[in-house]
Structure 1
Amino acid sequence: MRRLGVFRDPASVAVVGASDNRSKWGYWLASGALTGAHRRRVDLVNRRGGVVCGRPCATNLAELDAVPELVVLCVPADHVPDVVAEGLSLGVKGFLGITAGVADEPKLAQRIRAGGARLVGANSLGIVDTATDLRLAWGSFTPGPLAIVSQSGQVGSELALLGARQGLGISRFVSLGNASDVTATELLADLADHESTRVVAVYLENFANGMALVEALRAIDKPKLLLTVGGSAASTRLARSHTGSLTSPLDVVDAACRAAGVARVRTPAELIDVARAVLATRPPRGNRVAIIGDSGGQCGIAADVAHAHDLHVPQFSQDIGVDLPAQAAQHNPVDLAGAGEQDLANYALVTEAVLRSEDVDAAVLTGYFGRYGLDIPVIADREIAVAQRIGEIAATTGKPVLVHSMGPNSATAHALWAAGVPTYDRIEPAVTALTGLAALGRPAELPLPYQARPIGVLPDGYWETRQVLVDVGFPRGLVVRRREDLDHARRLTSPYVLKAGWLEHKSEAGGVRTGLSTLERLAEAFDEMAARLGPGEYVVEEQDTRPDTVEILVGARRDPDFGPLVVVGAGGTETELHHDIATELAPVSPATAREMLGRLRCAKLLHGWRGRPPVDLDGLADLVHRVSLLVAASPLVGELELNPVRVGPDGPVAVDALIIGTRPHKEARRA
Structure 2
Amino acid sequence: MNATSRNCIAELGGLFDPQSVAIVGASSTPGKWGFEYARQLLGSASSRDIYLVNQRGGIIHGNEAYTSVQLLPARPELVVICVPAAQVQSAVDEALEAGARYIVCVTAGFKEAGEEGRKLENQMRDRIRAAGARLVGPNCVGLYDAAAKLACTAFWDLPPGDIGIISQSGGVIVDLGMRLPRERLGISRAVSVGNQADLNVGEFIGSFAVDPNTRVITAYVEEFRDGRRLFEAIEYARDLGKEVILLAPRAGEAVGRSVASHTGSMISNEDVLASTCADLDVVRVRGIGDLLLALRGLGAPARSRGRRVAVVADGGGSATLGTDAAVAEGLEVPGFSVELIRKLKNISPNSGVGNPVDLVGALDLGVFQPIIQEIASSGEVDAILMNGAFNNVAGASMEGERAVATNIQNVCSQSGVALSVATMATGEPAMTALAADRVPVFDYPLEAARCLELGRKRMPVRKLIATVDSCAFRGKTDYLASRNALGEAGVTFSKSLHAKDIDEAAEAAGTIGYPVVLKALGSLHKSDSGAVVLGIRDETALRTTVADLNNRLRPTGFSVEEMVMEGDAMELLIGGIRDPAFGPTVVVAAGGTKTEIWRDRVVALAPVEEDTALRMLSSLRIAPLFAGFRGSSPVDLSAAAKAAAALSRFISGHENVVEAEINPLIVGPTRCVAVDARIVTTS
TM-score between both structures, scaled by the size of structure 1: 0.87
**Aligned equivalents of 1:611 and 1:305: distance in 2?**
38
**Aligned equivalents of 1:80 and 1:133: distance in 2?**
27
Please say if residues 279 and 460 of structure 2, whose CA atoms lie closer than 8 Å, have aligned partners that are also in contact: no
Which sections of structure 2, spanning at least 5 residues, go unmatched? Answer: 111-116
2:500 to 481, 506, 522: 481
Please say if residues 163 and 218 of structure 2, whose CA atoms lie closer than 8 Å, have aligned partners that are also in contact: yes
Q: Note the C-alpha offset of 1:144.
A: 0.6
Please say if residues 245 and 283 of structure 2, whose CA atoms lie closer than 8 Å, have aligned partners that are also in contact: yes
Give yes or no for the alignment of 1:108 onto 2:127. no
Structure 2 matches for 1:24-63, cutoff 5 A?
24-63=32-71
Structure 2 matches for 1:292-441, cutoff 5 A?
292-312=312-332, 320-321=340-341, 322-323=344-345, 328=352, 330=354, 334-336=356-358, 338=360, 340-341=362-363, 344-346=366-368, 349=371, 352-353=374-375, 356=378, 362-363=382-383, 365-368=385-388, 371-373=390-392, 378=396, 384=402, 387-417=405-435, 421-438=439-456, 440-441=458-459
1:125 to 141, 158, 177: 141
Specify the code of the residue in structure 1 equivalent to 2:102: G
Give SS of 1:269's match.
Answer: helix
Please say if residues 486 and 647 of structure 2, whose CA atoms lie closer than 8 Å, have aligned partners that are also in contact: no
Specify the alignment match of 1:666 in structure 2. Answer: none
Please say if residues 180 and 186 of structure 2, whose CA atoms lie closer than 8 Å, have aligned partners that are also in contact: yes
Q: Cα deviations across residues 394-414 of structure 1 (Å, max 9, x unaligned)? A: 445544343333334544334
Give yes or no for the alignment of 1:264 onto 2:284. yes
Give SS of 2:564's match.
Answer: coil
Please say if residues 471 and 653 of structure 2, whose CA atoms lie closer than 8 Å, have aligned partners that are also in contact: yes
Please say if residues 467 and 653 of structure 2, whose CA atoms lie closer than 8 Å, have aligned partners that are also in contact: no
Please say if residues 75 and 99 of structure 1, whose CA atoms lie closer than 8 Å, have aligned partners that are also in contact: yes
Please say if residues 70 and 96 of structure 1, whose CA atoms lie closer than 8 Å, have aligned partners that are also in contact: yes
| 271 and 27 in structure 1: CA distance in 2 versus 1, 3 angstrom threshold | same
Specify the alignment match of 1:135 in structure 2. Answer: 151
Specify the alignment match of 1:667 in structure 2. Answer: none
Specify the alignment match of 1:10 in structure 2. Answer: 18
The worse-fitting range, judged by mean Cα deviation, of 316-325 and 132-141 is: 316-325
Please say if residues 283 and 454 of structure 2, whose CA atoms lie closer than 8 Å, have aligned partners that are also in contact: yes
2:674 to 645, 654, 658: 654
Provide the identity percentage. Answer: 35
Q: How many residues align?
A: 657
The worse-fitting range, judged by mean Cα deviation, of 5-14 and 501-510 is: 501-510
**Aligned equivalents of 2:406 and 2:515: distance in 1?**
71
Specify the alignment match of 2:475 in structure 1. Answer: 457
Please say if residues 314 and 387 of structure 2, whose CA atoms lie closer than 8 Å, have aligned partners that are also in contact: yes
Please say if residues 236 and 245 of structure 1, whose CA atoms lie closer than 8 Å, have aligned partners that are also in contact: no
Specify the alignment match of 2:206 in structure 1. Answer: 189
Give yes or no for the alignment of 1:243 onto 2:263. yes
Give SS of 1:190's match.
Answer: helix
**Aligned equivalents of 1:587 and 1:456: distance in 2?**
20
Give SS of 1:557's match.
Answer: strand
The worse-fitting range, judged by mean Cα deviation, of 11-20 and 186-195 is: 11-20
Give SS of 2:527's match.
Answer: helix
Please say if residues 280 and 459 of structure 2, whose CA atoms lie closer than 8 Å, have aligned partners that are also in contact: no
Give yes or no for the alignment of 1:214 onto 2:236. no
Please say if residues 627 and 633 of structure 2, whose CA atoms lie closer than 8 Å, have aligned partners that are also in contact: yes
Give yes or no for the alignment of 1:177 onto 2:199. no
Give yes or no for the alignment of 1:23 onto 2:31. yes
Q: Note the C-alpha offset of 1:267.
A: 0.9
Specify the code of the residue in structure 1 equivalent to 2:610: P
| 198 and 116 in structure 1: CA distance in 2 versus 1, 3 angstrom threshold | same
Q: Note the C-alpha offset of 1:51.
A: 4.0
Q: Cα deviations across residues 210-237 of structure 1 (Å, max 9, x unaligned)? A: 3333332222121111122334435255
| 88 and 558 in structure 1: CA distance in 2 versus 1, 3 angstrom threshold | closer
Give yes or no for the alignment of 1:98 onto 2:136. no
Give yes or no for the alignment of 1:545 onto 2:565. yes
Give SS of 1:508's match.
Answer: coil
Give SS of 2:218's match.
Answer: strand
1:200 to 214, 217, 226: 217
Q: Note the C-alpha offset of 1:204.
A: 1.8
Give SS of 1:141's match.
Answer: coil
Give SS of 1:554's match.
Answer: strand
Structure 2 matches for 1:571-586, cutoff 5 A?
571-586=591-606
Q: Cα deviations across residues 249-270 of structure 1 (Å, max 9, x unaligned)? A: 0222234445666321111221
**Aligned equivalents of 2:122 and 2:482: distance in 1?**
45
Specify the alignment match of 1:445 in structure 2. Answer: 463
Specify the alignment match of 2:580 in structure 1. Answer: 560
| 213 and 449 in structure 1: CA distance in 2 versus 1, 3 angstrom threshold | closer
| 477 and 63 in structure 1: CA distance in 2 versus 1, 3 angstrom threshold | closer
**Aligned equivalents of 1:373 and 1:30: distance in 2?**
53
Please say if residues 555 and 642 of structure 1, whose CA atoms lie closer than 8 Å, have aligned partners that are also in contact: yes
**Aligned equivalents of 1:493 and 1:105: distance in 2?**
64
Please say if residues 574 and 662 of structure 2, whose CA atoms lie closer than 8 Å, have aligned partners that are also in contact: yes
Please say if residues 286 and 438 of structure 1, whose CA atoms lie closer than 8 Å, have aligned partners that are also in contact: yes
Specify the alignment match of 1:509 in structure 2. Answer: 529
Specify the alignment match of 1:155 in structure 2. Answer: 172
Q: Note the C-alpha offset of 1:605.
A: 1.6
Q: Cα deviations across residues 97-145 of structure 1 (Å, max 9, x unaligned)? A: 2222266333233333334433212221111101100002112000011
| 481 and 317 in structure 1: CA distance in 2 versus 1, 3 angstrom threshold | farther
**Aligned equivalents of 2:246 and 2:326: distance in 1?**
21
Specify the alignment match of 1:669 in structure 2. Answer: none
Please say if residues 355 and 363 of structure 1, whose CA atoms lie closer than 8 Å, have aligned partners that are also in contact: no
Q: Note the C-alpha offset of 1:546.
A: 2.4
**Aligned equivalents of 1:386 and 1:238: distance in 2?**
64
The worse-fitting range, judged by mean Cα deviation, of 390-399 and 476-485 is: 390-399
The worse-fitting range, judged by mean Cα deviation, of 255-264 and 74-83 is: 255-264
Structure 2 matches for 1:72-91, cutoff 5 A?
72-91=80-99
Specify the code of the residue in structure 2 equivalent to 1:574: K
Q: Cα deviations across residues 359-382 of structure 1 (Å, max 9, x unaligned)? A: x6x33515215x4239x7848667
Q: Note the C-alpha offset of 1:64.
A: 4.0
| 242 and 115 in structure 1: CA distance in 2 versus 1, 3 angstrom threshold | same
**Aligned equivalents of 2:245 and 2:166: distance in 1?**
11
Q: Note the C-alpha offset of 1:495.
A: 4.0
Give SS of 1:552's match.
Answer: strand
Q: Note the C-alpha offset of 1:500.
A: 2.8
Please say if residues 217 and 260 of structure 1, whose CA atoms lie closer than 8 Å, have aligned partners that are also in contact: no
Specify the code of the residue in structure 2 equivalent to 1:189: G
Give SS of 1:499's match.
Answer: strand
Q: For the aligned residues, what is the CA RMSD?
A: 3.4
